[in-house]
Amino acid sequence: MNRSFTERVYDIVAKIPKGGVLTYKQVAKLAGSPGAFRAVGSAMRNNPDKAKIPCHRVVGSDGGMHGYAFGGESVKIKILKEEGVKFKGEKVDFE
DNA sequence: CATTTGACAGGAA
DNA sequence: CTTCCTGCCAAAT
């Protein structure tokens, strides 16, 4: 398991089901460091493989986004809607 | 080893 | 509701 925290994050994000969204905090927690949500964002920004890392399924604590490395936040929201995620204004609607 | 940075979170004003 | 500050963690330089 020579996997860095970031590697683990990629694995977790890649496992997010379609129509589902996890917060940076959740991903960080699942990755083993419940306080490393910042490192999670850094990993997403690196995004070594967008085809396997749906970073658009990772949102902030308020269900909003802070950026998207492949088109912009607007596109990110659009993709999530296409995935079947409900939106509340410009933020993901949890439930 | 020390410093800087970042797609964050939470609280205060 | 918006803006600023602080705290936390990991990777990069």
pLDDT in tens, A38-81: 999 999 999 888 889 999 999 999 999 999 999 899 999 999 99
Q: For residue A56, what pLDDT is reported?
A: 95
Rounded to an integer, what distance in angstroms lies between the CA atom of residue A26 and that of residue A89? 22
What kind and span of H or E run contains A74?
helix A73-83
What is the per-residue pLDDT for A1? 76
Report residue A9 CA to chain centroid gap. Answer: 9
Nucleotides on chain C within 7 angstroms of protein Cβ:
7-12
Q: What is the mean pLDDT of chain A?
A: 93
Predicted confidence (pLDDT) at residue A25 exceeds the cutoff of 90: yes
**Alpha carbon distance, N-terminus to C-terminus of chain A:** 34
In this complex, the answer to whether residue A69 has its CB under 7 A from any atom of chain B, a nucleic strand, is yes
Residues 20-59 of A with CB under 7 A from strand B: 23-25, 37-42, 44-45, 47, 55-56, 58
pTM: 0.93
How crowded is residue A93: how many other Cβ atoms within 10 Å of its Cβ?
Answer: 11
